Amino acid sequence: MTHPAGPPSQPWSGGPPPGAAPAACVRHPDRATGLSCTRCGRPACTECLREASVGYQCVDCVAEGRRGVRRGVTVAGARPGTRPLVTPVLIGLNVAVFAWTVLTSGSVAANYTAPLFREWALVPVLVAGGEWWRVLTSGFLHFGPIHLLFNMLALWVIGRDVETALGRGRFLAVYLVSLLGGSAAVLLLSPPTANVAGASGAVFGLMGALAVLLRRLRVPLGQVGTLIAINLVITFLIPGISVAGHLGGLVVGAAATAALVYAPGRRASVQAVMLSGIALVLLAVVALSMASMG
């Protein structure tokens, strides 16, 4: 005596029952398959299956599992493994501006005679006269190829590590705030007729940022500390270097990075408020310096 087969108590996950025709893949109905997902039990072809800790899972179950997994973050709250992008873009902008000054001046060594230097260089008395944009544009000008080479080499070596730790948005914010910090220090401490240009303030800011990151991770400063010390010695010994710009960038870059890595919970909103506060203080310094010279 025979009885009709009832529904199985457990879903069949090993393919169709013996003797049954192969089922069609749920994502490719035109493909017959004897395989199925060990998680949801649906039939799937070899193209739609991925190896799992137990058996094989379909791509839909793999994607659903990934959505439920909390991704790790860096010490600053950024997504780890992000490929540096801002660093090469900044280098490209600096090189492009330098090439333009060479083209318009007709000289590589005397590119500072280009009209762009008269419009963009940081001259405190001109900033006081209302040309406020110079506090940022001066950071993309360089006096000759050696000046450019050293700054871009430092930006490439240091910037990649700092950008990886901070993430692209936070890295750009630290770079620009450091640049503003260097310019604010120049306005506050340098002669009114000083003529300052270069990305050194921002690069020194990245040195300070890297030192804070290593400190936060409890990694000995080692070579980074030596690098900062050597650059400070060079800053004080070689004539023509803006001491105020370098020190201002170094201090502000360190402070901005500390605001990021020590922010409560590393929440982006808290970090944004703290960085905005630093920027507002620097803008106040710029305004006071302009007023004192005016």
Task: Count other Cβ atoms within 10 Å, centred on residue 247.
Answer: 20
Q: Which of 190, 200, 242, 289 is catalytic?
A: 200
Spatial separation of the C-alpha atoms in residues 124 and 188, rounded to whole Å = 9
Cα torsion 259, 263, 268, 271: sign = negative
Which listed residue (246, 269, 276, 289) is catalytic? 246
User: Are 279 and 232 contacting, i.e. CB atoms less than 8 angstroms apart?
Assistant: no
Q: Is 147 a catalytic residue?
A: no
For strands 23-24 and 49-51, give the pairing: unpaired
Question: Can you tell me the distance from the alpha carbon of 195 to that of 149, in angstroms, rounded to the nearest whole number?
Answer: 20
Q: Where are the beta strands (DSSP E) in the chain?
A: 23-24, 32-33, 49-51, 56-58
Our CA angle for 103, 132, 124, nearest 5°, is: 85
Catalytic (active site) residue 138:
no
Q: Which residues are known catalytic residues?
A: 200, 246
